[in-house]
Structure 1
Amino acid sequence: MKLFIYTLLLALLAAFVMAAAPHKSVIISYPDGTPDSVIAEAIKAIKAAGGVITHEYKIIKGFAANAPAKALETVQIMGDKYNAIIEEDQIVTTQNGIGI
């Protein structure tokens, strides 16, 4: 329990330090067996760092966000046991982007 509190305090401290950092648009996903509490803590850490959750997914365990790079590092460390996958959010097209 103490480790969790220290981790949370460290995340909040990092959030204040990173307030002016540039934000990245990302999708963060977790394996199916990940508890919802792990995802909720990651969302709290993103928001505490001045990031914005742009979408919470229902089909997969994860969410999209705009967040400072340091906040993403914190989320990666927090989700170490559940292997958080952080990918850059980008547009994906079929047929090489050629319109039909």
Structure 2
Amino acid sequence: MPHDEVYSLSPLASFQSVGDGAVVLLADSGQLYSCNDTSEAFLRHVDGKRSLADIVDLLAEEYEVEREMLEADLAELAASLIQEGVIVGGKN
């Protein structure tokens, strides 16, 4: 995934933090996804304005993890969420 890729939540998806986790509901299919810590942290910053690199920077500051590993994990996560229809991407 390109570092300048900007993501937003799909118009058909709603994201909600609940208790110690979060869920995503896809309106068209009724599919409900529960989020792990990484997915929740990523989706909290998906706003249609931040690039993948911006989100990596924010999460690298928030959590003590290697930036390279975080970048690879988030790129993989973004690809999966795009495939599932949870987020959409476009160039910055």
Bigger RCO (CA 8 Å, 6+ sep) = 2
TM-score (norm 1): 0.33
TM-score (norm 2): 0.35
Larger radius of gyration: 1
